[in-house]
Chain A
Amino acid sequence: MNALLLNTLTLYFRREWQLMFRNTGTLVQPLVFFVIIALLFPFSLPVDLDLLEKIGGGVIWVSAVLATLLSLERMFHGDYLDGTLEQLLIHHRYLPLAVLGKVIAHWSATGLLLSLMSPFLCLAFNVPVEQIWVLFIGLMLGTPSLTLLGAIGAALTVTLHRGGVLIAIIILPLYIPVLIFGAGMLSQQVQGLEILSQIYTLAAILVLALTLAPFAIAAALKATIN
């Protein structure tokens, strides 16, 4: 990769992390939301370890989707309000890579942390150890796609004061394939079936999102700011 292009990616990645460390609330909120949503289920269901074991993986996946969704609104909105988004759009740096740097930083502060937290949540659902690994791999492959797809919705609603609901309406249908294959891995594992096809499908969705989403995000930002 051209050094200038790689520099664009790393520059925006580092700046996003710098901003997130200055505003730790943005790091903690999705994580706390993820844990609380997931823990509501064991508290609200009958005390049945078999039931918890069956639904645990699915609940953690849905919680991860909702926590990702919650964090999307702030991805570009702050930049829009302070004018840095305008500067990003008119600068000669390659826009799709600049937004990709931002999105990767955003994922590492949400999706990556959620994935790392998921094994601990599995304990609350009595999920067996062999399934914990399956869930972790699924989340590691699935959450980057969730963030990349969600960033398109965030870009389309960047000028709206409260665009969160609209992002959910636009993006949630696109999350369904990731959810089907991610949660599907767990049921396949329980039945003793091969899970490689699900892993490959999630990886393929990720490669597709990684390749196309930065261009879609850049186009959406330009169209929305115009």
Chain B
Amino acid sequence: MPNAESNSRSPSTTEKLISVTNLCCSRGERVLFNDLSFTANTGECVHIVGPNGTGKTTLLRTLCGLNGSDKGDIRWLGQPISLSDAFTHQAVYIGHKDALKNELTALQNLRFNQQLESIHDEDALENSLLRLKILACADLPVQALSFGQRRRLAFAKLLLYPKSVWILDEPFTGIDAHGRTLIENLCVRQLKDGGTIIMTHHRSLQETALRTYSKEVFIQPQESIL
């Protein structure tokens, strides 16, 4: 059962926030990646790079606990994430799907996410929409929004509550240049505040505001079959 007290632990100077060691994942009989190791610390943006089908999304889902791994381990402050309640309290995942209910309005969707964190702050809801420049969509049902607006709304959830780890799967897909800049700035703010980001993106981050914070982790295509 969740234990709110476990949130209070903070990283020591030597301990990595997240460490992935010799991780191996497969889909069916195909090995996606093998012996993958990297660490992520506060203020770092880990950019997972690799061709299509090499398991970037699977890696993020494994980090979140949605998928299992064949071997290796993932640790949060030295503790396996499967045993760490603190990790589920501190991490937020935005995948390919926006996790929004079409029938509800933008505000209602955000309000539910806020309530899940036991927060009730109407001003914060409107402020998050304002920061993503979709305040005009506040009372529209999500099914009436464009793909880009839905993506912005998905990212507005990140502003509702402070989470130290953002796990983002292709965060800039379907978003125009202005929206991309907004999201980059959100990410930079998160990193400056001591947060951590692990993301996949098919293009380099060197031309973005994230370049000074990012470190790349390459996933090599595997030939082997289990």
Contact A22 B2 (CB under 8 A): no
A82 proximal to B (CB < 8 A): yes
Which of these, B2, B68, B95, contacts A83 with CB under 8 Å? B95
Would you list which residues of chain B between 100 and 115 have a CB under 8 Å from chain A?
100-104, 108, 112, 115
Which of these, A19, A89, A225, contacts B101 with CB under 8 Å? A19
Complex interface: stretch among A91-99, A114-122, A132-140: A91-99
Contact B101 A82 (CB under 8 A): yes
A7 proximal to B (CB < 8 A): yes
Contact B118 A82 (CB under 8 A): no
- Residues from chain A with Cβ under 8 Å of B64 in the complex: 90
Cα distance A87–B2 in the bound complex, in angstroms: 16
- Please give 6 more A-B residue pairs, beta carbons under 8 A apart, in addition to A22-B103, A82-B97, A93-B116: A4-B2, A82-B99, A86-B99, A89-B65, A94-B1, A225-B66
- Residues from chain A with Cβ under 8 Å of B201 in the complex: none
- Residues from chain A with Cβ under 8 Å of B103 in the complex: 19, 22-23
Cα distance A83–B104 in the bound complex, in angstroms: 15
A15 proximal to B (CB < 8 A): yes
Contact A82 B98 (CB under 8 A): yes
Cα distance A82–B67 in the bound complex, in angstroms: 18
Complex interface: stretch among B85-93, B129-137, B184-192: B85-93
Contact B93 A86 (CB under 8 A): yes
Cα distance A225–B64 in the bound complex, in angstroms: 12
Contact A92 B99 (CB under 8 A): no
- Residues from chain B with Cβ under 8 Å of A11 in the complex: 112, 115-116
Cα distance A77–B141 in the bound complex, in angstroms: 20
Would you list which residues of chain A between 46 and 95 have a CB under 8 Å from chain B?
81-84, 86-87, 89-94
Number of B positions contacting A (CB below 8 A): 28
With both chains docked as a complex, state the minimum distance between the C-beta of A106 and any C-beta of chain B, in angstroms.
Answer: 15
Which residue of the partner chain A has the closest CB to B105? Answer: A22
Residue contacts A-B, CB under 8 angstroms, 10 given: A22-B103, A83-B95, A83-B98, A86-B95, A87-B99, A90-B66, A90-B88, A92-B85, A225-B66, A226-B67
Contact B93 A87 (CB under 8 A): yes
A18 proximal to B (CB < 8 A): yes
Which residue of the partner chain A has the closest CB to B167? Answer: A90
Which of these, A4, A19, A23, A225, contacts B118 with CB under 8 Å? A4
- Residues from chain A with Cβ under 8 Å of B112 in the complex: 11, 15
Which of these, A22, A86, A94, A226, contacts B68 with CB under 8 Å? A226
